[in-house]
Chains A and B, each alone.
Chain A
Amino acid sequence: MDVFNNLSLGFSVALLPINLMYCFFGVFMGTAIGVLPGIGPLATIALLLPFTFGLTPEGSLIMLAGIYYGSQYGGSTTAILLKLPGEAASAVTTIDGYEMARKGRAGPALAGAAIGSFFAGTVATFLIALAAAPLTYLAFSFGPAEYFALILVGLVSSIALASGSVTKAVGMIILGLLLSLTGTDIYTGARRFTFGSRELLDGLDFVAIAMGLFGITEVLRNLEKSNLVAGSIAKVGRIMPSMSDFKRMIAPMIRGTAIGSMLGILPGGGALLSSFVAYNVEKKVSPNSKEFGHGAIEGVVAPESANNAGAQTSFIPMLSLGIPSNVVMALMIGALLLQGVVPGPGVISNNPTLFWGIIASMWVGNAMLLMLNLPLVGLWVKLLQIPYSVLFPFIIAFCCIGVFSMNNSTFGIYQIAIAGLVGYLLTKLECEVPPFILGFVLGPMLEEHFRRAMLISNGDVTVFATRPLSAFLLVIAMIVLVVVTLPAVNKKREEVFIEED
């Protein structure tokens, strides 16, 4: 079987001692930072992004992927022990997780989350291996028109992730697209929007913008709350779940994984949506649905399995098509570009070791998380006790040094400050940053494919509608746009996100 050959190639990369080390460092740092309340996976990845630049593309992506699912895992630890979601996707875990912890069953809750995540991670790894390659071959029939349409689908679906007004989200996407064009035009060499600055010839610094928008904006938002009160940290106690716990875990684990895997592939899906849907489904179908809200282990296992599965399958469109389905994937694309790898269907044939290495490393990373987390729970509890007054100067320090070390210049540091201020203002005005970042990452690609498509078609705009695949994708984009604007869906969307706060 091809898949097994490919996976064994992947494992030969992922199991190299040096890559094992990057993977370990990634999941460890990801968990450690993900545990800290007030720093989500986005900020974590943005903070740690600069550390991956000196590495090989494989090492860098393996580490970033590790940081991503590590931070998801860390988030659930915080959710269970502190009733504070370390990151949005584990918000529903707080409901039953903290109840279990209050009843002295924090240990089984943590173990359930870890085992569920590992199971989901294993299944999702195989799914990626199975699905990514065929999708890639499909992508080879793509011309510029199809790519343009596909990127539009990606951009439009980012609106589904935003909680506020659809119109404002569209505005933020366009703003991101516009600012991404800063610098030298690749076709003509003309300077665009550089305001006479030499440093801006290479464009705005993606990492600095991401750090400012996610890191600094978050710091400012946390400082605005007069006090970031943390509840008392629950005692962990016995870790191993009982036999009856295990029996109750199996079905939710499988259902959660299935839901998460499907939603993760959809653009705009990913971990967040998966965990909400899985929890609600489980609450309906579980024989113990009465216990939900009072510490049902199903209510921890299902969303945790789902968010891990979703987090992983969201790599499928990113790896095979080069289209990020959520903001974390947008940051991954940014990292690939900075490594000199052009994301897209070419990756699988040009960099097979990178492609399959990342996939295999996900399974390795999940196995590490399982082994790492339960014994280290004591350490995570210690981390939970760090007060925010120590954390936020640290975040600022990391942002500054991270951006400085990337190109050995202080110019990017000013961009962090500006991005932080602008990001904070826009958040205050209820404009959301994720659609902006997606636009910012995809802008140059969107323009390139648009220009190429128009050149090939001799300036005929209808090319986007007459090529069947492109027309099909544009119809999908339209449907998504219409669906998110429907009043009923809109209301539901707001509810989901209000719960999350």
Chain B
Amino acid sequence: MSINRKDFATGAIFAAFGLSYGYMSLTTMAVGTPVRMGPGFFPAMLSGALLVIAAFVMVRSFVRTEETPFGEVPWRAIILVTLAIVTFALTARGLGMLPGMFVATFIACTASPKISPLRGVLISAGIAAFCTLLFTIALRVPLPVFGSWFGA
């Protein structure tokens, strides 16, 4: 049996949000009355509406089954770009702007297979230097050039 997997997945995501947010609105918050609405009233309404949409999209995925190809999934890029951002968040204060930015952008560079490691080092060194000059020195963003791990 064939289904439109994209629509089905969309419906499932909507349903997950509708159910969990609806559950939280009804159980952890006061719902109140239509005149004096509590914090849970409006989100509960929205969750209900989202569940209706979710049901509609999921049912439709069995009826209108033709789908467009999902296309290539750039796993390498997804993982490494996310890793670069998270690494910066984790190390920014410890390493500081210059080394922190260098590490993060180097990880980002490895996301593209077309950047050789040497080129990656050059690009990320350039970006780190540029960002340090622009943000830390010129715009006074409160992130020191070298962070606390360097004893600063």
Contact = CB atoms under 8 A, between A and B. Distances in A.
Given A399-B85, A428-B71, A190 B30 contact: yes
Contacts of A390: 123
Given A167-B53, A188-B30, A417-B86, A394 B127 contact: yes
B70 interface: yes
A121 to B, nearest CB: 30
Contacts of B124: 393
B74 A190 contact: no
Contact of B38 (A190, A401, A459): A190
B33 A459 contact: yes
A479 to B, nearest CB: 20
Most buried by A among B85, B105, B139: B85
B135 A216 contact: no
A63 B38 CA distance: 40
Interface in B18-73: 21, 24-25, 29-30, 33-43, 46-47, 49-50, 53-54, 56-57, 60, 68, 70-73
A396 B84 contact: yes
A368 interface: no
Interface of B is mostly: helix
B58 to A, nearest CB: 11
B46 A393 contact: no
Contact of B108 (A396, A411, A431, A450): A396
A139 B25 CA distance: 33
Interface residues of A, number: 59
Contact of A400 (B21, B50, B88): B88
Interface string B97-121: 1000100110011011011000100
Contact of B85 (A416, A424, A430): A416
Contact of A174 (B10, B35, B49, B85): B49
Interface in A381-395: 389-390, 392-394
B17 interface: yes
Contacts of A177: 46
A223 B77 contact: yes
A393 B123 CA distance: 8
B145 interface: no
A165 B70 CA distance: 16
Closest 8 CB pairs of A and B: A413-B89, A459-B35, A459-B34, A185-B39, A223-B77, A190-B39, A417-B85, A171-B53
19 contacts: A171-B53, A178-B21, A178-B47, A185-B39, A192-B24, A393-B84, A393-B109, A393-B123, A397-B101, A397-B104, A404-B141, A408-B142, A413-B86, A413-B88, A414-B89, A428-B70, A430-B6, A455-B36, A459-B35
Given A177-B46, A192-B40, A396-B84, 4 more contacts: A185-B39, A192-B25, A417-B89, A454-B37
